[in-house]
Structure 1
Amino acid sequence: MNKLVLASNNAGKLAELAQLLSPLNIHLQPQSAYAVPDCPEPHATFVENALAKARHASRISGLPALADDSGICAVALGGAPGVYSARFGGEEPKSDAANNAKLNAKLANQADLSVYYVCVLVLLRHADDPQPLIAEGVWHGQWQAEAAGSNGFGYDPHFYLPEHGQTAAELAAAVKNRHSHRAQALDLLLAKLAHNPLFSAA
């Protein structure tokens, strides 16, 4: 389990997860290193999409796979954009700027600006693993209309954290990697991994 394929080509996710995993001597590689094409994400839940992506990447690469499905949810919009976060502003091309602009417009006249990030991680030993490890992290914040910061990606410049007085894109990487939805999910996943004999024997 010291080499994993990440079922994503998202450079931000790769950098964040690789940094979180580096103390454990786990080498994470993007699926592009194994010519794995993007997997369709037709499902209505984060966990179903993450599982589909992990199986797809593991089957083609022949390696254990880690998949992340994540997004931002606005309380005033009933949890939207949720699983559609990456393509909220349109498919061709997908764009952080378009996604942020659309969500900003949707929340412009809302009284409740509560938002939260969700991350579901799925770890598979092999493509047909019947017992994947699954972990979820949730990070609560407030939508800020004016973008601030350049350290993050996705919706981070608008994701304001009252306890820090900054957006996620203004946080130092070390701080973000302690508190983010992805960090929370990974902490839980690693705890499950440490107590799972199937994975320790893989």
Structure 2
Amino acid sequence: MRDPTLTRLVIATHNAGKIAEFRDLLAPYGVTALSAGDLGLPEPDETGTSFAANARLKAEAAVRGTGLPALADDSGLCVEALDGAPGIYSARWAGPDKDFSGAMARIDAMLTERGATDAAARRAHFTAALAVVWPDGRCEAVESHVHGVIVHPPRGDRGFGYDPSFLPDGHGRTFGEMSAEEKHGLPADGGEALSHRARAFQILAARLFGAP
């Protein structure tokens, strides 16, 4: 049964791309998504040692700052030949100026140094952990993934973060070349979405709203 308190959710991120995705995902359920940035909430230090831990601590911080239920995600790119890096440090690899072009070039350089030049050696996956926390301390958390390969040079100027360098399995275009609907749209037939964040949201929506 749907929780009647979930009419408004604080989205605990200052990332405009993520805010836009969550607003699209939540709209069919009649949930108003409020941005942590617009509410003037500070970004907490991500001190967790996993995606799930960081998602929860960000949601808890937003709840403390607003008294409203909050949804947070922690996501990142995990490159197999780099022992899972950048992983939970994906945003930090881009630095304070959010230079993801530089971060993508760094990944390519490190792969090249390790002799990982063909697709089979450049396997990677995106992980997304989502957590909803209520003012009473309840928490609902999920995690999902999408697998693919790293391409260089990056392709496309859509999406955000590492999207232009990630080619998902079974597709001929990177996330950076796909429209928002292609990347995180929820299939009308109830099938699995493409992006890691949308896949995690499908699991979360089934728990929160009884969605198929």
Give the TM-score taking structure 2 as reference length. 0.86
- The count of residues paired between Structure 1 and Structure 2 equals 192
**SS in structure 1 at match of 2:48:** coil
1:56 aligned residue = 61
**Runs of 5+ unmatched residues, structure 1:** 196-202
Distance 2:169 2:194 in 1: 13
Going from structure 1 to structure 2, the CA distance change for 1:93 and 1:150 (only over 3 Å counts) comes to: closer
**SS in structure 1 at match of 2:176:** coil
Q: Is the 8 A contact 2:75 2:128 kept in 1?
A: yes
Deviation at 1:194, TM superposition (A): 3.2
Distance 1:159 1:17 in 2: 20
Distance 2:132 2:64 in 1: 13
Q: Is the 8 A contact 1:2 1:26 kept in 2?
A: yes
Q: Is 1:32 aligned to residue 37 of structure 2?
A: yes
Q: Is 1:185 aligned to residue 191 of structure 2?
A: no
Distance 1:5 1:158 in 2: 30
1:199 aligned residue = none
Distance 2:156 2:98 in 1: 21
1:120 aligned residue = 129
- Could you say what the CA RMSD is over the residues aligned between the two structures, in angstroms? 1.4
Residue type of the alignment partner of 1:176: K
Superposition misfits of 4+ residues, deviation over 4 angstroms: none
Distance 2:183 2:92 in 1: 24
Deviation at 1:34, TM superposition (A): 2.1
Q: Is the 8 A contact 2:157 2:177 kept in 1?
A: yes
Deviation at 1:162, TM superposition (A): 4.1
Residue type of the alignment partner of 1:80: A
Deviations 1:23-69 (A, max 9, x none): 11111111122221010002210111111100001110111000000
Residue type of the alignment partner of 2:116: Q
Give the TM-score taking structure 1 as reference length. 0.90
How much identity, in percent, do the aligned residues show?
39
**Runs of 5+ unmatched residues, structure 2:** 1-5, 185-192
